[in-house]
Amino acid sequence: METAAYMEKDDSLRRGLTAGLSIAFGYMPVAITFGLLAGSTGLTVFEAVLMSMVVFAGAAQYMALSMLAIGAGMVEIVLATFIVNFRHLLMSASIQERAEPSSKKFRALFGFFLTDEVFAVSSVKQPPISGNYILGVGLSAYSSWVGFTAAGFYTGALLPGVLQESMGIALYALFIALLVPSIKEEGRPVVVLALLGGSFHWLYQLFLDTGWAIMSATITAVIVYELVDVRRRKKR
Amino acid sequence: MNEAVVWMIIGMGIVTYIPRILPLLMLSTENWPSWLRRMLARVPYAVLGALIFPGIIFAYDAVWYGLLGGAAAFLIAYTGAPLIAVVAGTILLLTGINLMM
């Protein structure tokens, strides 16, 4: 009996690792780009790989680079990271409702890997979701993220100077590329939210430091959107 | 290696880790007001907008240069191209224009 239970556990970890390969593949270009940009922003390979190992959050890491590039303070970057990654609270809660019971230590372990993508792949499973399965998905994604950060860092050094100069656009291109699929899928709300965020940032950066301006703009944008949306729905 | 950057990374790691595990360890969001949950779900789009504007306009001396890059990125992304292709394509396009001028 004990052996059977053990083997079942082992199997869900393996199935998780396999399911996570889709994310591993998807992360590859994003991590290579991150490593490459980290190099051009002035981080060492140690710092770039450490960030991928410790933080494991694409959008926040890209944001940290763009904030470092414009000379934002370290405390601002940490706070902005908190704001950007706060959304994982909801995903963690949703997993908590549907995951197989397990020890707190074990939940604290697989919780580390809960990116948007790991959450998405894990949560389409029928509950109860095995913790080992989530851990497997997370480990696949994580290996790719960390490994290709290092790979990207070194390919960046091979680039000629003219190309490097044009790379100032890379982060913006990436953010646009992250927005476009959501615009295609959900349309107007995404466009309006992005425009609100951008407009308030434009306003706030006139009198606030960049990090604080981004955070304030984000909070104002979601509040304004919610207020307008509620009013509009009441009118109907 | 810059010690301040290492501390920043550790800080980023901690503030990322806490929201990821807190509900797993102790919370049920059933009692949360729906407006708060909606607002949290919208944060990523507002952040992306703030990260793009106004930075993209002031990224280069010539305003049109950044805007051209942004338009190119949008069009390439709209075809459904993967992220790296959008980034690489935009960089190559701007490099090409740079070389011609």
Unique residue bearing structure tokens 């407006």: B35
Predicted pLDDT at A175 = 79
Nearest alpha carbon to residue A65 among A25, A105, A35, A110:
A35
Q: How far is B54 from chain A (nearest CA, A)?
A: 6
**Pairwise CB contact (< 8 Å): A198 & B49:** yes
| Least confident residue range of A75-84, A88-97, A147-156 | A88-97
Note the pLDDT tens digit of each residue in B29-45.
Answer: 556 788 877 776 787 78
- Give the pLDDT confidence score for residue A1 in this predicted structure: 42
Chain A nearest CA to B32, separation (Å): 10
Q: Tell me if B22 sits within 8 A of A92, measured CB to CB.
A: yes
Q: Do B9 and A114 touch (CB under 8 A)?
A: no
ipTM: 0.82
Mark yes or no for CB contact B91/A166 under 8 Å.
Answer: yes
| Sequence-distant (≥ 6) Cβ neighbours of residue A130 within 8 angstroms | A9, A12, A16, A99, A100
Kindly give the parts of chain B with pLDDT less than 70: 1, 27-31, 40, 83
